[in-house]
Amino acid sequence: MRRLPILLTGLVLFCAPVMAQTAPGPGDVAVAAPSQQYCVTVMSGFPNDDHVARYQFFRLSQEMAVGATPQFRAALAQYGDAEVNEQTPILDVIEAIANPVLRQAAPEMVIGFMEHLIDFEDRCGAFLEGQINSLKAYDGDLVWEDPLITEDALFLRQVLSESLDRAGAADNPAHAFATQDYAANLIQTRDNMEFQVFTTEIDDLEAIYMTDLDGRLARSNDLINKEMDREGLDDALTLAKDMDKSFKEQEDKRRLYTLWRILGR
Amino acid sequence: MGHVKTAFLLSAALLVTGCATSAKGISQSAVMKSAMAEPLRQDVPPGTAMAVLRYPAHVEDDAKQAYYDAYSKRAIGGRLSKDSGDASEIQALADGMIMKSNYYALSVYKEMAAKMPEHSVLLSPHTVKLGADGKLTSVPMTQAESLPTVVTVDFSSYSFPDAKKMMGKAPLTFGDLVTPLVTVHSDHRASAPTKGLKLASAPLLPYAAGNGRRDVDTSLSALQSGTFETPSAPLDFVAFLNADSTASVASQSFGKMSANTVTSFPLEKIQLDKKDIAKLSAKDGGVTDPLKNAFSAGFANQVIGIINRTDINKATMVSRASAISQYDPSLAALTIVGSQDADYQARYRYAERLLEAEQKYLSVQSLRMFDGVHNGEIGAQTRDMLKAEYEHLEKRRELARQQNINTTMAVLGVLATGAMIANGGVGQDCSRSRTQREYYECQRRNQAANKVITDVAIAGIAYTGSKAFSLNKQSKMMGTNYMSSVAPILEQQQTVTVNLIDSNETITAIRFEDLRAKLQTLYSEKQRSLDTVATRCGYTHDGAVKSGTWLGVCENGLANGAGVGVLRNDDGSAVEYYGYAVNGQPQGAGYMITHTAAGSTALEGNFTAGRADGTMRETSAGQSARVVSYSAGAQTGRAPVGSPVATPFGNTPLSVPGAGN
């Protein structure tokens, strides 16, 4: 019985690509069949002993390809130089990109590795999406990994941008615009992420402070409203009525006296 | 002789009692009958309120005598006579006005809030106090007016300061009668020719315009001293009480739609629905809002119409800069025209989010104040009081009806007696007497009988006239008695209401201070550095006058880039400029407002070396904005149809070219 989750995981992971292909939504374009072998081969190099790690790497691959326009990929093709193929384990590829020594010494290699990942995402996007959706369906908590994955991907994309710069792409009129545009997008993405964090922190502050404020104000209102003496109004109205009555009686007397004077003249 | 006395008594009765009126009002305000309700079509950036509702909530002890004096001296709808009641009665009416303004303002708030987005309507109760010059002034009790706001609405419910005239035509807020006094302002940048004034109750209009002019002056002085922050203007009603200096603006009667003109709202005495009044003292009386269908709902629609026709960016740009300057002074001036630079955009977003947090906080405060006053014991007592006032008024109306019947009877009695006397009176027909003796006997008996009848008739007429007179006196005395007896209740009501508002503000301020410190820390930690910062330097306008101040991008001590320029000339005129400048002078797209003794005008378009140059949008009093051509500061005629007008506000979040009037 305790093995059930593991078996389910295996089943889901095994079936996921098939599910992704056999259940197209309305208007979906058929998955590119010629890439299938390539995609399955590359994906077999992803971690497969832990569904969280597998999700992280799928999502990381997806995120690292953000902003890679055809023009930018042309720059990668020109400046990239790495010995990498579909058999290379994904972990090795990513570790190589993150390696500070390699970044400094051989930016072309970093570019080459990133080009490999971006190419993989471009060709196998549908497979990746299918795997990610299946894993999310299996474990809804995986979405909590997303902010960290986005952060890591942004770091690796910045490494790529710097590597291209170091390799001289920014000085090449053919690629300058694409690489500068990519770098500007990275800044904007970084801004957006930081703003998102800022907003989340303010949201948290607001939730704490506003609930607290609302409670305090409500209690204070109740307390102060108790100071109100509503019976005082009744007394005031009775007093007004008494004064009116007394005045009316005086007026009636005065009027009778007037009548008596007229009749008695 | 007896006939003369009768006629005298009757004339006196008629003169004194007259034909008694029974304190009637119109069943619906003109705002309910005017143009159809329009949905809100404008949007505001985060941290900006659509409307702030200001009302007199409290009079400080030191200012009470001055307030009472001004209240009786500056009566609306008539003059006080010598027998206008003693001081305590006038004070009770003056206190009643504050109490009812507190209560009815909530109806207007509720209706506006229901028609506008969440958190976009705020309450700003004011304390009436003595200023440094010993004159009355008013200050907001909360921070609501520190946020950027499209329009500020002043509301109060008025009563003529003589309880004896309650049954006449004088304006009154008592029982089922309400006389609202309102004004609506936006910032003068959005409506330069009227100094921001959009609508005002007729008696307040010149004073509201005067307040608008002082606002302009204060704002220019603040800009000249390098800050966007200006204190809130006192309530227009307080300016009226003070008999502050007035200003003349182009105005139009309610229902007209001329551009750049203030709408004069008639003084109305509205009679609320009796069924609604009857429900007020029920346990769920708070659910009943008698003012809603008589005034508030329609007035909220009017405010929405005004917001729809207001250029929101121009109306809020300076107050937004002021609010942002609390967190980031070097960013504040740059927000006037905005920028597409990534560093600016990133930083502006942060600042805007901070203002949004402030807005939500202040909105919770407003909602709780509404809840505390309207739904608490204070509101319940106010409703009890309105119900009691209504019953009191109904009794007086009944007395007035009796008085009218008695007056009519007296008149008819005089006519009947006169006719009887003219016809020889009543009695036997003496012409049938057979002897002279019988004839004289018959005549003597008739005369004796007629004297008794006439005396009784005269006495009856005099009595009826006297009764009418007495009913009138009774009615007046009822008003006096009522006002005197409820005076301590009004005092208590006001004290508790102020305690509640004060407590709400204190709690909010303490927590707000704490929150703001945390927001400030967060902001400092997270914000990106700015490549270009705003500072203060010289603005020369046309190159000749060197005394101007520029808040914005500076270079070599002079305006160079985006910002705000302001200067005053020796002749008293002043210029405000929002846009781009080079070497201290307007250069490029800009928005310039010129204030002279003749009035204020605005020009938007391209400037070259400080002068309007090209196609400009010209806004002046009483007419729609015109698109005209300028060359070197001189107008050269109408611009070809469809000519584009340069605007400096293209980078702001809510730039609506052509909006506003």
Q: Domain for residue B581, yes or no?
A: yes
Q: Domain for residue A259, yes or no?
A: no
Kindly state the tokens that stand for B185.
Answer: 């302002």
Q: Tell me whether 0.85 is exceeded by the ipTM.
A: no
Give me the domain span that covers residue A173: 4-21+33-213
Chain B CB contacts of A199 under 8 Å are 353
A184: contact with B, CB 8 A cutoff:
yes
pLDDT of amino acid A3:
40
Q: Which long-range contacts (CB under 8 A, 24 or more apart) does A203-211 make?
A: A205/B357, A205/B515, A205/B518, A205/B519, A205/B522, A206/B357, A206/B360, A206/B361, A209/B361, A209/B511, A209/B514, A209/B515, A210/B360, A210/B361, A210/B364
Cβ distance of B504 and A236 shorter than 8 Å? no
The C-alpha atoms of residue B102 and residue B373 are separated, in whole angstroms, by 8
Q: Domain for residue A72, yes or no?
A: yes
Minimal C-alpha gap between B461 and chain A (Å): 10
Q: How many residues does chain A have?
A: 265
Give me the domain span that covers residue B610: 535-638
Q: Is the pLDDT of residue A6 over 50?
A: no
pLDDT of amino acid A30:
47
A202: contact with B, CB 8 A cutoff:
yes
pLDDT of amino acid B50:
97
Chain B CB contacts of A249 under 8 Å are none
For residue B576, the surrounding DSSP H or E stretch is strand B574-582
Instruction: Count Cβ–Cβ pairs < 8 Å, chain A vs chain B.
Output: 163
The C-alpha atoms of residue A158 and residue A169 are separated, in whole angstroms, by 14
A8: contact with B, CB 8 A cutoff:
no
The C-alpha atoms of residue B47 and residue B43 are separated, in whole angstroms, by 12
Q: Domain for residue B307, yes or no?
A: yes
The C-alpha atoms of residue B565 and residue B315 are separated, in whole angstroms, by 17
A95: contact with B, CB 8 A cutoff:
no
Q: Domain for residue A152, yes or no?
A: yes
Query: Dihedral, CA atoms, A105, A107, A108, A113, nearest 10 degrees?
Result: 110
Last residue of a domain, one of B312, B327, B362: B312
**Closest A-chain CA to B462:** A259
Chain A CB contacts of B507 under 8 Å are 213, 216-217, 220
Mean pLDDT of A2-7: 38
Bridge partners for B46 per DSSP:
none
Minimal C-alpha gap between B595 and chain A (Å): 42
Q: Is the pLDDT of residue A55 over 80?
A: yes
Other C-beta atoms closer than 10 Å to the C-beta of B517 total 10
**Closest A-chain CA to B517:** A205
Minimal C-alpha gap between A255 and chain B (Å): 7
pLDDT of amino acid A15:
38
A179-206: per-residue pLDDT in tens?
Answer: 999 999 998 888 888 888 889 999 998 9
B326 φ/ψ angles, rounded to the nearest 5 degrees: -65, -35
Chain B CB contacts of A186 under 8 Å are none
Side chain identity at B423, as an amino acid letter? N
pLDDT of amino acid B636:
94
Q: Domain for residue B570, yes or no?
A: yes
Q: Domain for residue B495, yes or no?
A: no
Q: Which of B472, B452, B350, B482 is nearest to B402 (CA)?
A: B472
- 0.90 surpassed by pTM: no
Chain B CB contacts of A248 under 8 Å are 474
**CA angle, residues B244, B250, B253, in degrees to nearest 5:** 100
Task: Return the higher-pLDDT residue of A4 and B78.
Answer: B78
Say which of B371, B470, B481 has its CB closest to residue A243.
Answer: B481
Last residue of a domain, one of B312, B333, B350: B312
User: B301 near B33, Cβ under 8 Å?
Assistant: no
Say which of B342, B365, B500 has its CB closest to residue A187.
Answer: B342
Kindly state the tokens that stand for B571.
Answer: 């002749």
User: B525 near A195, Cβ under 8 Å?
Assistant: no
Mean pLDDT of A80-99: 88
User: A56 near A171, Cβ under 8 Å?
Assistant: no
Cβ distance of A254 and B470 shorter than 8 Å? yes
Number of domains in chain B: 2
A174: contact with B, CB 8 A cutoff:
no
Number of domains in chain A: 1
User: B152 near B50, Cβ under 8 Å?
Assistant: no
Cβ distance of A225 and B496 shorter than 8 Å? yes
Q: Domain for residue B559, yes or no?
A: yes
Label residue A115 by pLDDT band (50, 70, 90): very high
Q: Domain for residue B230, yes or no?
A: yes
The C-alpha atoms of residue A88 and residue A115 are separated, in whole angstroms, by 13
The C-alpha atoms of residue A36 and residue A33 are separated, in whole angstroms, by 5
Q: Domain for residue A134, yes or no?
A: yes
Chain B CB contacts of A206 under 8 Å are 357, 360-361
User: B601 near B618, Cβ under 8 Å?
Assistant: yes
Local structure of B175: helix, strand or coil: coil
Cβ distance of A262 and B357 shorter than 8 Å? no
Q: Is the pLDDT of residue A22 over 70?
A: no
pLDDT of amino acid B14:
53
> Cα Rg for chain B, rounded, in angstroms?
32
Q: Domain for residue A28, yes or no?
A: no
Q: In the predicted model, what is the mean pLDDT of chain A?
A: 83
Q: Domain for residue B478, yes or no?
A: no
Q: How is A74-121 classified by DSSP, letter by letter?
A: HHHHHH------TTS-HHHHHHHHH-HHHHHH-HHHHHHHHHHHHHHH
Q: Domain for residue A136, yes or no?
A: yes
pLDDT of amino acid B417:
65
Say which of B364, B372, B470 has its CB closest to residue A213.
Answer: B364
Cβ distance of B361 and A224 shorter than 8 Å? no
What are the mean pLDDT values of chain B's consecutive 10-residue runs (661 residues total)? 52 55 80 82 93 96 95 89 76 93 96 96 97 95 94 97 84 94 97 96 96 95 93 95 90 85 94 89 80 94 95 96 92 92 87 93 95 92 91 87 78 68 67 80 79 69 73 79 85 90 90 85 81 88 76 93 92 93 94 93 95 94 91 92 90 51 38
Mutation target among B389, B515, B516, B524 for the A interface, most CBs of A within 10 A: B515
